Structure 1
């Protein structure tokens, strides 16, 4: 007998809760761990903080991801308060944090009121702070030579055209018809953590199909 939707939902929630519980237990027993924080929004555009904890147990490196809602402002003190309160509620010793990674936003890296600064003040020892590698890559991309920037601009212009609902669906159908090695098309969004490199690799692998599609649709790309 097939299970009802509610039964499957309840089972999924219980499994997820059990996994999270085990991970929290592992973090508590770990001698030290690292965290990474980044601001984001949920589907209702409510500010959140994605808290990623990394630790090592008998099975090797592990990760624990928690989303923390921010009611009101998203200042450094709001983020620090949400993170420390989360760790306190889960009985995780904040003094076991050895490093923290964030982006370069003032609310994260501010000298006096940034999240990292406030976090360090609440701890008994200093921690190593890192600037997120993915954000660094985005900043480095702004320094590319003009000819490379123009090439990337053209690629992103094509990606934007292909991202429209109808074009996207039709292009995926074309990929399936020609038995392409790719079945989908990646979309680049500056807000999301999908690197340009992944988009460019997929773009290059689908170059012939993209040319055919643009010709069929009579779409002109401005160089």
Structure 2
């Protein structure tokens, strides 16, 4: 991942040269007024992130029902992570990034549920409830579909009407693995 200072070190000098070639010299001075410090860029990224999050939460609040696509995996440093995409209908079907959370310890169904419950509580302004969740799409890892302590089983105790679907990308991956071994 590149540092935010790439703007000052690479992008700004390139912009100055482009502006100098295509426009008048005075325009180059205007380019120099653009604040590109690491702190400024970081603050702007955070501001944009908060605005986008608020827009998604407003849509979620207006939709009354939602579905989740959940994938848990372990990153290169060995930490288990949970990536969640939310789908909802407000005028049209919309799909948005919902959260990416680090899971404590192993990827057990209880851990996944606890992390999502905590995230729901954190978003109290939206009043998210498992009763409004109509579907969950995930892989068929034991931590997700286990009949007693799997995530789906635990969520179905909160809302028995939730529909579970297996992720098509995971199906494709499984199919490709079996095809490669046959060739």
Contact 1:87 1:94 in 2 (8 A): no
Deviation of residue 24 (structure 1)? Answer: 1.4
Contact 1:51 1:83 in 2 (8 A): no
Contact 1:28 1:93 in 2 (8 A): no
- Provide the rounded CA distance (Å) in 2 between the counterparts of 1:127 and 1:73: 25
SS at match of 2:179: coil
SS at match of 1:77: helix
Structure ranking higher on relative contact order (CA contacts 8 Å, 6+ apart): 2
Match 2:168 to one of 133, 158, 168? 133
Structure 2: gaps (5+ residues): 1-32
Deviation of residue 68 (structure 1)? Answer: 1.4
The residue number in structure 2 matching 1:39 is 72
Contact 2:142 2:150 in 1 (8 A): yes
- Provide the rounded CA distance (Å) in 1 between the counterparts of 2:80 and 2:55: 27
Number of equivalenced pairs: 147
Q: What is the TM-score of this pair, normalised by structure 2?
A: 0.72
Deviation of residue 83 (structure 1)? Answer: 1.2
Q: Select the structure that is richer in strand.
A: 2
Match 1:64 to one of 84, 97, 108? 97
Contact 1:70 1:78 in 2 (8 A): yes
Q: Say if 2:34 is the partner of 1:2.
A: yes
Q: Say if 2:150 is the partner of 1:114.
A: yes
Structure 1: gaps (5+ residues): 151-223
